[in-house]
Amino acid sequence: MKLLLYLTLPLYLLDQVTKAWILNRFPDYPSRDFIEVIPDFFNLVRVHNTGMAFGMFNGNPYANWIFGGIGILAITGIITLWKKNAFPDQISRVAAALLISGILGNFTDRVLPGRGYVVDFLDFRPPFYGMLVPSSGGHFPSFNVADSCICIAAALLIVSAFRQPKEA
């Protein structure tokens, strides 16, 4: 359980602090304002997302309720599985902790008074992405720290699933 506290809480706080900074730095929304961090590759922007990954279902009036409910169910399920020792190795436990911080970070955005949307702000232009997805203008969908935690957790769970268990 310590891992949940030592990994989940700091990443959750990092997510919320960075989102607050973005909201203060870019008070006018929508805006074409951005901070170019690495020219032609990485920018900081302000994007509102009421949907899920890649902006799917963005703008749906019930999205926050639906994805908020899914978030609560997911966190409840992960904690229940954690208590049942369903995460047998360090990789899967780290993945569970990352999932909780990511889900909690985006859930918080959805339920904060006056918010009702997830704040995305990391804007990348990977090489050749514009050719693969011409409608993107070359920009990969914006994301945040919570989204990063969820994606890394998914990758770790896949790795953990294919690892051979150590013999006792």
Residues with catalytic function? 120, 147
Q: Is the peptide bond before 30 cis (omega within 30 degrees of 0)?
A: yes
The SS3 assignment for 160 reads helix
Q: Is the dihedral of CA 64, 150, 38, 41 positive or negative?
A: negative
Cα dihedral 90→80→107→61 (10° resolution):
130
From the list 157, 56, 53, 142, the residue with the least C-alpha distance to 98 is 157
From the list 106, 144, 130, 117, the residue with the least C-alpha distance to 22 is 144
Judge contact between 95 and 150, C-beta under 8 A.
Answer: no
Q: Measuring CA to CA, how many Å separate 58 from each of 48, 49, 61? A: 9, 6, 9
Residue 150 tokens read as: 């969820």
